[in-house]
Structure 1
Amino acid sequence: MSPRVERIMLSAILLLYAAVACTGITWGLPARRIDPYLFSGPPWPGEVIFTRAGAGAKLTPQTRSRLGADVDLDPLRTPDHQPVLLTEHEEDLARIYLRYRLYTYQPDEMITMMALAGMDPRRLQFDPRLYQYGGLFLYPVGGLIAATSLTGWIDLRSDVTFYLDAPEAFGRFYVVARAYTAAWGALGVLLVFGVARRLGGSRAGLLAALLFALMPVVVCMAHEGKPHLPGAVLMLAAVYFALRHLACCSCSEPRASARATSRNAVRLQQEKDQPTGSDHPSKRIDRSEESPHRLEPS
């Protein structure tokens, strides 16, 4: 297969992956369209939800600084094996409404937003209090959200009640995180192609890249703002560069052996050409310089 055809087919696979990743990138985002399923009457305003859920006391800087971003702020305190009434009080309803207004259908995605909300770059406070996700995921997502807000597509503010009234605006944060995750998937397509190409040639590389781009777990992870797909891609990068290093070592060994053989041959030739014994210039006797007064034999 010619390099030009190989590049065209690989580009087509990348475009296919981009189409698949972008198709479902907005699934399960918080939105007001589900209000008829939540409220039997008029929807509660964001301020009411915020107050009745007690979010003001739970989301203070003091609380955030001493708790991890993934710590449950409302743990169940009922005895084991006892039924839990989730809608017994208005406070319980408010906590449910708050989750539907700010969380996606993948609840772990909110952990990233909680970690970012606990930072304060103006005070050089960059502790995410969420260490299993890693800085290579959290900090770029935060930077992308801040950069996107400069374009006006994201309305970035610290007023939680605003997002409770406009959950679609908060949902755009998740879109940015998912887009960052999907970009790692595109890099994964290239790495899978590189690994398979080294092991089995161009056709094997293209087939492996296509299967990776359409793998259900890859497609699902590309639609979630979580670091699982980036972590898998980093492992693929380790495999690719390990194979590349081994290939370089295997190629350099024959060259090093050839250079050593050439040096040995030159050394042997020099030793062969070097005069030894009585043939050495310093040991030769010049008969013309012998004394003219030496006695002739009688």
Structure 2
Amino acid sequence: MKESPWVAVCLAFVFGVWGLSWGLPSKERADLFLKPDLRTPEFFLRVEKNRDDIYDKISLNPISHYGRMARAGKSYTDTSFNLLSVYSSFLVRTHHGDEQQALVMLFRLNPRQGKWYPYTFQYGGAYIYPLAAALKGLQLAGLIKLVPQASFYYAHPDEIANVYRAVRGWSVLAMMLSIFPLFYLGRRLVGHQAAFWASCFYALTPACLGTAKLAKPHVWAAAWMLSSLYFCLRAREEPRLRPLALAAGEARRRLEQTGYARIQAFSESPLQKMGFSDPFTTGNFPLEIYAR
């Protein structure tokens, strides 16, 4: 068994799925929060309209809106967030504030209408588009419900919880897949036994397990980066073009998981602290694109 990565893969699956439902929206949570007279379709429609109005105001891209506000010397709280916004967040968000971002990006996509643009750039296309296809498959299988109306999920928080579980499961799958390049990379460098134990420790590391239980692309980025390193090693040892091409492709997929650029709109960058002008925060070209 020490010549195979499957023990570590099984560990990643078992401990990844265990606790996958932490911090999810639920009917119990909604009932504790909402008074009985607010658990009505009319109230949920009010919350949905308020949410839609806010997104119309910020042009469907919260991050670029915050950047524009910062450039204008204003606080992002100047946007008309209100009590209805709090209701919306509490009813459909998880305990981790970033997890809803993937769903917001997915909500903007509609291939039948030619809508492929998610309007924001935190996560790259190599993460968003395969995830969208996977969720569509789960919908066709009857395992999750995907509807465009937020009011549906306000009234049925357990349904949005199922969607979050599916996206988190996508992260668990990434952790399982990332073990293969790690194992074979270790086997080439230090032998079977070290590769076996390294992959097992990786599968049980709290930081890796914690990230695998989030609806975020970071574990996929690790999987592609480990694959790139493996093929880089093969390219050095084998005088062929194929391993080098695969290494470049895997590295590109890694970059496409978490976005193409980091725009620091709220704090000084390392370049600025050293007295230089940082093109990502002061140049017109990058910020104009990011703040559209």
Tell me if both proteins adopt one fold, taking TM over 0.5 as the criterion: yes
Say if 1:29 and 1:104, in contact at 8 Å, map to a contact too. yes
- Which residue among 96, 99, 102 is the counterpart of 1:106? 96
| Aligned residue number for residue 207 of structure 1 | 197
Identity %: 24
Shift of 1:203: 0.5
Equivalent of residue 243 in structure 1, options 233, 243, 247: 233
Query: How far off is 1:37 after superposition?
Result: 4.1
- Residue 30 of structure 1: aligned partner: 25
Quick check: 45-54 or 236-245, which moved more? 45-54
Deviation at 1:59, TM superposition (A): 4.6
Matches of 2:205 and 2:171, distance apart in 1: 15
SS of equivalent to 2:138: helix
Cα shift at 1:145:
1.3
Structure 2 residue corresponding to 1:217, chosen from 164, 182, 207:
207
Per-residue CA deviation, residues 12-70 of structure 1 (Å, 9 max, x unaligned), is 2211110001112211111121135423555433541441571242356xx68x33265
Structure 2 SS opposite 1:127: coil
SS in 2 for 1:114: helix
Q: 1:37 to 1:112 in 2, by over 3 A?
A: same
Which residues of structure 1 form unaligned runs of 5+? 79-90, 251-298
Match of 1:96 in 2: 86
User: What are the residue-to-residue correspondences of 1:68-83 with 2, within 5 Å?
Assistant: 68=61, 70=63, 75-77=76-78
Does 1:54 find its partner at 2:50?
Answer: yes
Q: In structure 2, the residue corresponding to 1:76 is in which secondary structure?
A: helix
The equivalent of 1:6 in structure 2 is 3
Contact 2:145–2:163 at 8 Å: present in 1 too? no
Q: How many residue pairs were aligned?
A: 231
Q: Name the structure 2 match of 1:259.
A: none
Distance in 2, matches of 1:173 and 1:46, equals 21
Are the equivalent residues in 2 in contact too, given 1:35–1:43 (CA < 8 A)? no
- State yes or no: 1:195 paired with 2:188: no
Q: Is residue 2:180 matched to residue 1:184? A: no
Q: Distance in 2 between matches of 1:75 and 1:54?
A: 17
Q: CA deviation at 1:168?
A: 0.9
Deviating 4+ runs (over 3 angstroms): 39-44, 69-75
Greater shift in the superposed pair: 46-55 or 226-235: 46-55
CA–CA separation in structure 1 for the residues paired with 2:2 and 2:32: 53
* Structure number with bigger Rg: 1
Rounded to whole Å, the distance in 2 between the matches of 1:228 and 1:5 is 27
| Normalised TM-score (structure 2) | 0.71
Report the secondary structure of 1:6's partner residue. Answer: coil
Where structure 2 has 5 or more consecutive residues not aligned to the other structure, the ranges are 67-74, 241-292
Equivalent of residue 14 in structure 2, options 19, 22, 28 = 19
Question: So what's the TM-score if we normalise by structure 1?
Answer: 0.70
| Structure-1 separation of matches of 2:65 and 2:14 | 36
1:179-234 superposed Cα distances (whole Å, 9 cap, x missing partner): 11111111211111111111111011001101110111110111011111111221
Question: Cα RMSD between the aligned structures?
Answer: 2.7
CA distance, structure 1, for counterparts of residue 52 and residue 115 of structure 2: 21
Which structure 2 residues correspond to residues 287-298 of structure 1 after superposition, within 5 A? none
1:147 to 130, 137, 142: 137
From 90, 113, 118, give the equivalent of 1:128.
118
Distance 2:153 2:96 in 1: 18
**Inter-partner Cα distance in structure 2 for 1:44 and 1:15:** 42
